[in-house]
Amino acid sequence: MGRKIVVIGGVACGPKAACRVKRLDPSCEVTILERGEEISYGACGLPFYLEGEIDDVKELTTTPVGVVRDVNFFKAVKGVDVQLNTEAIAIDRKAKEVRFRNVKDGSEGSISYDKLVIATGSSPVRPPIPGIDLDGIYCLKTLHDGVMLKKAMEEAKGKNAVIIGAGLIGMECLEPLLKAGFTVHVVEKLPFVLPALLDEEMAVPLMKHIQSKGVVLHVGDGVSSFEGEGRVAKVVTEKTEIEADLVLLAIGFRPNTKLAEDAGLRVGRMGIVVDAHLRTSDPDIYAGGDCVQSYNIVTGKPMYAPMGSTANKHGRIIGNNLAGWNSTFSGVCGTGVCNILGFNVARTGLTERDARGEGMEVLTSLCPAPDKPHYMKDAKLIHFKMVAEKYSGRILGIQALGPGEVLSRVDTAAALLKAGGTVDDCFETDMAYAPPYSPAIDNLIVAANVIQNKRDGLIRAYSPKEVKEKLDKGEDFIFLDVRTPKELEQMRLPYENVVHIPLGMVRKKASELPRDKEIICLCKISLRGYEAAKILESEGFDRDKIWLLDGGLVAWPYEKIVNM
């Protein structure tokens, strides 16, 4: 036999690395040590198992043709030995051995290696909150977690469920819990949902949508304790108390780095430190997946990105390098997508909050619009936000959400981020067009065009948040609403400083507007607002006083009078 390769961890990165190196170098002797009872499963499918879209949790362990990826499959098809229920407990780097323990009978042993792969993944965060060990409090990470949570849902059907944390896992579990008849509460410490993915002005439409489905949101509120006699019965927060028959703890994951730390490998705040080849500080040991820190290709700084897609890429690169190739991984940009109660939500790169936190000067655009031409009957709304560097125009991030199609737009943006693309590059990107799929000028390109206009001094715009601050301070300015009277009947702003002049009358009635006040032009999505602003400038108004409301009324997350 050839070199001995040992892989610690058997979910995503580990099996990928093992199978890849075995394909490239069949002479290798490859062994996977996995502490659980299952190997190579799709944990990201667990919310859909809870929902009933997947009948049997075992389907998450099968190939596309239905073959179960078990020990026998890996041995017969992949030529890889798998030892389940086997936990690696120590790495002796000098002797090049891994000490392991059988989690069922406690017996111990060791295995030698020439090259080692650490793919120990991550664990759910369980903070030391009083009562956290009560029965009825669940996490969702493994197949066993999914089975136990589904059983609990069936037993407590139609009662109160409380989700702690409004991140991806928590939000993806709203639908299965609602479909099971639960009254669902979500407790989130930060002031809005998906705080790691979205800016607040983008999260607000999503929160309104979630609340319209009957979910009770407790944002800006933290858990103080869990109460109950042996089993959770109540969640006590900083602001209220919530009856609870079932609790899902979904406040994030931490990389499993103890094994690497104990072995003296370099570990950072966000995981095991690896180089571009995914080598650790020991050249004979590689690491990948949720246990390592990645690098953000936008900032060049470390970040934690526990995604199944990234873990599989890591596994392929590690397998290549174990076989003697010279493959590298340049990093990630935090791309993610999910569906929340019929709303598609996606993002890549930095939020505006992230970018400003990095000290960057930015320009942003808010561009709510249909995902297809307005004349297509199945056109659906997308709320869209782009963040770009102020002077260079380099795209820093995209956020998109709504019932419309968002995935293709964000994936295109992710490719632009990888290439260091600018808003000008975005404009020139030859995206596919046909009315059943997109407008002639895609939503992504429209967002880039708005930033081009801002950069080039063609428009001046306030974000909804900036305008709301002006209102709260009592500043004296005018809202110029240029929509039609029919639109005004359906939805309008409830403020005394709103002046309504349809766009076609703005040029004629411009003299009726004050020239000594700021005028903030708006319409449904601010396309006509932009036209109105240019008309006022052409009529001699001081351009420093003419502004646009970014995103128009659709993007305005505050008070509105709606008569639909």
**Would you list the DSSP string of 446-487?**
HHHHHHHHHHTTS--EE-HHHHHHHHHTT--EEEEE-S-HHH
Q: Is 19 a catalytic residue?
A: no
Burial class (CB in 10 A: 0-12, 13-18, 19+), 301: exposed
Residue 259 Cα distances to 189, 372, 554, angstroms: 31, 51, 50
Distance between CA 169 and CA 157 in Å, rounded?
A: 20
Where is 402: in which H helix or E strand? strand 395-402
Could you say which DSSP state residue 394 is in? B
Distance, CA of 9 to chain centre: 25
Q: How many angstroms separate the CA atoms of 231 and 19, rounded?
A: 43
For 104, list phi and psi in degrees, rounded to 5: -90, -45
Dihedral sign from CA coordinates of 118, 120, 122, 128: negative
3-class SS of residue 91 = strand
Measure the CA–CA gap between 520 and 476, rounded to whole angstroms: 11
**Residue 265 amino acid letter:** L
Catalytic residue among 19, 44, 333, 426: 44
| Pair of tokens at residue 146 | 């999914």
- Which residues share a beta bridge with 494? none
Residue 164, Cα to own-chain centre: how many angstroms?
17
Is the four-CA dihedral 124, 32, 13, 300 of positive or negative sign? positive
Sign (positive/negative) of CA torsion 17, 19, 25, 31? positive
One DSSP character per residue, 272-324 reads: E---TT-B-SSTTEEE-GGGB-EEBTTT-SEE----HHHHHHHHHHHHHHHTT
* Helix or strand run (H / E) with residue 435: none
Token couple for 183: 């009254």
Catalytic sites, residue numbers: 44
